[in-house]
Amino acid sequence: MSNSKFSNPARKALVFAIAVSALAACDVDIGKDGLTINKDDDVTYVPGTPSEPTESAECGGTRSGVNWGALLSENCPKLSDYNLFVDSTDPTRNPNTGGIPYDLSTPLFTDYASKYRFVFIPEGKKATYSEHEAFDFPVGTVLVKTFAMPADTANRGENETIIETRLLIHRDNGWVARPYYWDSEADASLAIAGKSVENMTTQHNGQTLTFTYAVPKASSCTSCHSVVPLLQGSEDQRQPIFKPIGPKARYLNKDFDYEGYNRNQLAYWEEQGVLEGLPESMSEVSQAPLFSNAQDPALLAPEALHDAAKAYLDINCAHCHRSELTLPEPLYAGPAGSSGLQMEYNREYADDPTRFGACKIPVAGGSPDYPLGDVVPGAAEESYLLFRMNTTDPRHKMPELGRSVIHQEGVALIREWINQLPDAACSP
């Protein structure tokens, strides 16, 4: 595997919105010390300010296993300082003791990058099963995700450029995000301020895609990973809560090849002693459909199409566009939860189609070319949702972060879904 060189990082803090309107284009100002202010409210949010790399005796040195002490307390300058992998130059396989690889049935799209995920849970501790939310992981847990760009998306795992490795670490004071970029083939460096990888290329379906890949700054991770308080007046001083997104039962409820041992991931975690509370019958566990870029959504049966679309919108959008539906914390929502557009997987479209954007007039970042609604059932090309997915214009694109190219197959899925929705008042 090869590694990419990076351009100079951006210097200004990336905004984080407290509440946004439908298919939100966040309207915020940046103050000093990372303060973000919503122009429509008198509310402020001060995200945790990530520390610079620390030189500590806990970092580095020769170790036989995972450097748990450093993970819990230090922002080490090099990824290898944590000793997460047997071969520190290859973060795509062979985790050290305590690490388990995993995959998601429907993954978040990131510029057609391959993703290699691992969970590290300290010995003797367990994650607790949740029906709808990400599992409750114990202090010490590390979620690791490495992004690599294949030369050709048809041949994943071959000739890939390792770009970044992101860590979510559950420390005593909560979760922290630490991005590491691979500035050499030997190691990755802590990128608190993020990095831009210019002229990144990949072949996809015979087409050469060239774009700028963005390694996020640590502070920008709050934009997707936080749920925010629905403030109850000036005396309400509750702060946002940082949460993992991907490791939910519905996305982990699939088989994984553990070096020749094919096993359901949830059952395997339980067998390995890192998960408790799993229902006795797997039939009681929700299961999101498998997403494949090779799948033709036009060939899906209506129910399967609807399920696939809900899963795609959930993993790509609902970390922001969600409300109190399943959140255990009272009066919290996603950063765009108050927008009226809410697309959690466990939300039923038939109960309130408007929550999924049906005939809901765009109110933020809206375009006069889409006057009928975020979603116009039966008319995808008149739907603002599809437009925002099908553009790279930073004024309009959704999701706002995490992609520089259009996910062609995701657009095709949502186009087909909208076109097959039953007619509504705004339908032509």
38-47, 57-66, 100-109, 185-194, range with the lowest pLDDT: 38-47
C-alpha to C-alpha distance for 85 and 93, rounded to whole angstroms: 7
Residue 115 lies in a domain: yes
Within this chain, do residues 239 and 382 fall inside the same structural domain, yes or no?
A: no
Q: Who contacts 216 (Cβ-Cβ below 8 Å, separation ≥6)? A: 14, 166, 179, 194, 401, 402
| Cis check: omega of the bond before 399, within 30 degrees of 0 | yes
- Label the pairing between strands 114-120 and 99-102: antiparallel
On the 0-12 / 13-18 / 19+ scale of CB atoms within 10 A, 64 is exposed
pLDDT in the model for residue 232: 84
13-22, 49-58, 198-207, 322-331 — most confident range = 198-207
Look at residues 129, 153, 164, 156 and name the one whose alpha carbon lies nearest to residue 3. 164
Identify whether 162 is part of a domain: yes
Count the neighbouring beta carbons within 10 Å of the beta carbon of residue 265. Answer: 24
390 located within any domain: yes
Q: Which residues contact 297 (CB under 8 A, 6 or more apart)?
A: 305, 308, 412, 413, 415, 416, 417
Residue 284, domain member (yes or no): no
Say if strands 127-128 and 275-276 run parallel, antiparallel, or are unpaired: parallel
Same domain, 334 and 305: yes
Round to whole Å and give the CA distance between 402 and 93: 23
- Could you tell me the pLDDT band of residue 62, with boundaries at 50, 70 and 90? confident
Could you tell me if residue 63 is inside a domain?
Answer: yes
User: What percentage of the chain exceeds 70 in pLDDT?
Assistant: 86
How many Å apart are CA 405 and CA 169, to the nearest integer?
A: 29
Residue 47 has pLDDT above 60, yes or no: no
| 148 has a pLDDT exceeding 80 | yes
Instruction: Please state the pTM of the whole predicted model.
Output: 0.86
Lowest mean pLDDT among 75-84, 165-174, 338-347: 338-347
More confident of the two residues 371 and 366: 371
Are 7 and 120 in the same domain? yes
Examine the domain organization and report whether 311 and 391 are in the same domain: yes
Q: Which residues contact 379 (CB under 8 A, 6 or more apart)?
A: 372, 418, 419, 427, 428
Phi and psi at residue 272, in whole multiples of 5°? Answer: -80, 0
52 within some domain = yes
Dist. CA 265–CA 249, nearest whole Å:
9
Q: Which of 304-308, 367-371, 410-414 has the lowest mean pLDDT?
A: 367-371
Name every residue whose Cβ is closer than 8 Å to that of residue 316 and which is 6 or more positions away in sequence: 108, 109, 399, 410
55 and 158: one domain? Answer: yes
Q: Which of 276, 307, 336 is the last residue of a domain?
A: 276
Q: Tell me, yes or no, whether 270 and 327 share the same domain.
A: no
The pLDDT value recorded for residue 95 is 97
Q: How many residues does the chain have?
A: 428
pLDDT in tens, 187-222: 999 999 989 999 999 999 999 999 999 998 877 777
User: Rounded distance, CA 58 to CA 70, Å?
Assistant: 5
Task: Give 357's pLDDT tier (boundaries 50, 70, 90).
Answer: very high
- Decide if 204 contacts 194 (C-beta within 8 A): no
Clarify whether residues 265 and 303 are in a common domain. Answer: no
Q: Do 89 and 183 reside in the same domain of the chain? A: yes
The residue among 276, 309, 342 that closes a domain is: 276
217 and 186 in a single domain? The answer is yes
For residue 287, being part of any structural domain is answered with no
Contact between 320 and 228 (Cβ < 8 Å): no
Count: domains in the chain: 2
Dihedral sign (CA 336, 134, 93, 262): negative
| 263-304 tens-digit pLDDT | 999 999 999 999 999 999 999 999 999 999 999 999 999 999
Which pair of structure tokens corresponds to residue 206?
A: 């015979």
Per DSSP, which regions of 11-126 are E strands?
28-30, 36-38, 44-45, 99-102, 114-120
Structural domain containing residue 382: 292-420
Give the mean model confidence (pLDDT) for residues 79-105: 96
- Does residue 245 contact residue 134 with C-beta atoms inside 8 Å? yes
Confidence bin at 11 (pLDDT 50/70/90): very low
Report pLDDT for 366: 60
Instruction: Kindly state whether residues 38 and 176 are assigned to the same domain.
Output: yes
Per DSSP, 255 falls in state: E
Out of 276, 302, 327, a domain closes at 276
Q: Are residues 204 and 347 in the same domain?
A: no
CA distance 54 to 75: 5
Residue for token digits 């290699």?
116
Is position 226 within any domain?
Answer: yes
Do 235 and 351 belong to one domain? no
Task: Write the pLDDT tens digit of every residue in 226-268.
Answer: 888 888 888 888 888 888 999 999 999 999 999 899 999 999 9
